[in-house]
Amino acid sequence: MNKVRYTEWIDNFVENELNEAGRKSFEIELSVNKQLALEYHLEQDLEKILSQQDLLDFRAKCIVAQNEFNLSSRKFVKVIQFTRKYWYAAASLLLIAMVAGSLVLINPGNYSPAKLFKMYYKSGETIGISRSGNGNMVEALLYFSKGEYQAADGLFDKILNYEPQNFAVMYYSGISNIEIKNYPKAIQMFESIIQDGNNLYIENAEWYLGLSHLVTGNIDQANELFESIASSPDHYYANDAKSILEKIKKNENSKKLINNLFFLILPF
């Protein structure tokens, strides 16, 4: 289920970037919203802990030393005397592994678009809210956090009627529409965010647009987006894009292999 993340809101509160009404709204929400309270107090602790840079460096060195120690103390490898019985067992295992490997290799459903979507769609990765003072927005996000995406999207639409350039709302609307499998609307929302070219949600929109294209079978468009993301090393989803591209390629190769096998078998 999607969870609303409060990072940006907390940041605005801590950095005194909210107006009086915004601060009050935050404080009220903080007293009733367990998730917000958890993230707020966790951030306070993290700030305290992470500001101790010398300690972090020291701990990192301890982890390295521990790993080195563990590696060096595991240098004795148990040697198995291979008798004829073991050779038979090993050969059988190898055969099973080869058959299983071949099945995995030629199974086109191994990385089907739907499966890839499931693997890469991290519904928890929503990012903050920008208009905390807006009553409709708070209500919409409450629906969103409860997983009531249809209701949330209705409210997002209302907000977009009077704030057509609210990219946070567009983004959450896009995610809500992915959740309710209304992909055309999700695609429309993400495309609008990207077309603007200057807002906080572009990288996320690019990634989720790619996933929306993937799940609707527009593999070429998905590929194009993932390639663009993967070619920008600073892009937040660069590694995910590289990884998904590899799997899409593997899937295509499997399909080609099956086609080739089919044509080889056909004459018989």
Partner 1 sequence: MTFYSDAGIIDGLKKRDSGIIRYIYKEYYPTIKYLITTNSGTETDAEDVFQDALVVLFKKIIKEDLILTSSFKTFLYSICRNLWLQRLDRRVFSDEFLEMEDLSELQDNLHLEQSEEEHEKYRLFQQHFLKLSEDCQKILQLFLGRTSLKEIAEIMGFKTEKYAKTRKFMCKEKLKNSIINDPNFKKYLADYE
Residues near partner 1, by CB under 8 A: 5, 7-8, 11, 34, 37-39, 41-43, 45-47, 49-51, 53-66, 68-69, 124-125, 127-128, 198, 200, 203, 234, 236
**Nearer residue to partner 1 within complex by CB, 48 or 85:** 48
Q: What angle do CA 16, 20, 26 make, to 5 degrees?
A: 75
Cα 171 to Cα 62, 67, 125, 248, distances in angstroms: 42, 42, 12, 26
Q: What angle do CA 24, 132, 203 make, to 5 degrees?
A: 150
* DSSP one-letter code for 200: T
**Nearer residue to partner 1 within complex by CB, 171 or 183:** 171
Least distance to partner 1, CB of residue 232, Å: 11
**Nearer residue to partner 1 within complex by CB, 161 or 195:** 195
Least distance to partner 1, CB of residue 124, Å: 6
Q: Find out whether 112 and 219 touch, Cβ atoms under 8 Å.
A: no
**Nearer residue to partner 1 within complex by CB, 145 or 182:** 145
d(CA 247, CA 14): 42
Tokens of 25: 């709204």
d(CA 6, CA 164): 22
Least distance to partner 1, CB of residue 3, Å: 9
Q: Find out whether 226 and 241 touch, Cβ atoms under 8 Å.
A: yes
Q: Find out whether 115 and 108 touch, Cβ atoms under 8 Å.
A: no
* DSSP one-letter code for 77: P
Least distance to partner 1, CB of residue 127, Å: 6
**Nearer residue to partner 1 within complex by CB, 38 or 99:** 38
Least distance to partner 1, CB of residue 68, Å: 6
Least distance to partner 1, CB of residue 6, Å: 9
**Nearer residue to partner 1 within complex by CB, 4 or 248:** 4
* DSSP one-letter code for 81: -
